[in-house]
Structure 1
Amino acid sequence: MSAEEKRAWIYAVVAVGVSAVYFVTVLSQVPGADVAQIAYVRPMLTAIGAGIALGIVASIAAAVVSPREADRTDERDRQIHRLGEYVGFYVMSIAAIVPLALTMAGVAHFWIANTLYLAFVLAALASSIVKIVSYRRGI
């Protein structure tokens, strides 16, 4: 497994894990509550920061375990990265329509912020999945 494929796996696992903890924590407060009173900002910022930190630490750990591969990239790696980023961009572009529509409808900030965060998570996950599949099956 190349270093770039390992990074794609790390990105996918971190995106799913951190966002799942965030959504379970915050959305469990929704039933029977006024969403305007739910404190979601600090947990969301914590989730974003934790995702970034975990991704960096895990990537460094993967590079330490396999130091020879850490900086090796070839044309195939660049093509796969480009394809994954394109797919992630399009997923984000489409998914961002939901928070935009919610904003125009005057929905509570809680729902707008959480759908925007979900859009970022879906884009990261789609990008990682495309990269992993491309490494496994070829492009």
Structure 2
Amino acid sequence: MAFEEKRAWALAVISVVGYALYVVLVVNGAAGRPLVNAPYVTPMLWTIGLGVVAGIVSGIWFGIAARNDGLQADERDREIGRIADNIGQSFVVIGGVSAMALAMIEAPHFWIANVLYLCFVLSAVLGSLAKIALYQRGML
């Protein structure tokens, strides 16, 4: 398995686990109240921060392992990364447009922040899955 494919798996797992943890924290924090009134800022900041740190640590870990094995990124790795990033970025655009629409209808900040967070997570997961698929099935 290529170094970049391992990183893609790690990023997908980190993203899903981090977002699931966030949802659990917010739902538990609601304690029977409407979700809009649940404290969400602190759990969001912590899960995003921990996700970033976990992504960096896993990248360093797989980078050291790849270097020890004498592996280097080649042109194919860079092309797969570019294509997968373009695919994943679609959800960043969807999130931005959705947040703008929510702001225009003056939705609560809770929903605006959460649609952005969800779309960032979906972007990371979709980009990672695209990278994994390109490594396993090849490019056309």
Q: Structure 1 length normalisation: TM-score?
A: 0.89
Q: 1:130 maps to what in 2?
A: 130
Partner of 1:110: 110
User: Which residue number corresponds to residue 10 of structure 2?
Assistant: 10
Query: Where do 5+ consecutive residues of structure 2 fail to align?
Result: none
Give the counterpart letter for 2:98 in structure 1. Answer: V
Given that 1:18 and 1:51 are in contact with CA atoms closer than 8 Å, whether structure 2 keeps it comes out as yes
* Alpha-carbon distance in structure 2 between the residues aligned to 1:49 and 1:82: 25
Determine if contact 1:11/1:124 at 8 Å carries over to the other structure.
yes
CA change 1:66–1:77 in 2 (3 A) is closer
Q: Is the 8 A contact 2:5 2:132 kept in 1?
A: yes
Letter in 2 for 1:15: S
CA distance in 2, matches of 1:23, 1:36: 13
Q: Which residue of 1 aligns with 2:94?
A: 94
More helix by share: 2
The gaps in structure 1 that reach 5 residues or longer are none
Cα-to-partner distance string for 1:32-73 (whole Å, 9 max, x where unaligned): 424454221111111111001111112222233443357611
Q: Which runs of 4+ in 1 moved over 6 A?
A: none
Give matches, 1:6-85, under 5 Å. Answer: 6-30=6-30, 32-35=32-35, 37-69=37-69, 72-85=72-85
Once the two structures are TM-superposed, the CA of residue 103 in structure 1 deviates from its matched residue by: 1.0
RMSD: 1.9
The answer to whether the 8 Å contact 1:35/1:108 transfers is no
Q: State the one-letter code of the partner of 2:51.
A: G
With structure 2 as the length reference, what TM-score do the two structures score? 0.89
Kept after mapping to 2: 8 A contact 1:11/1:55: yes
Taking only the aligned residue pairs, the percentage that are identical comes to 42
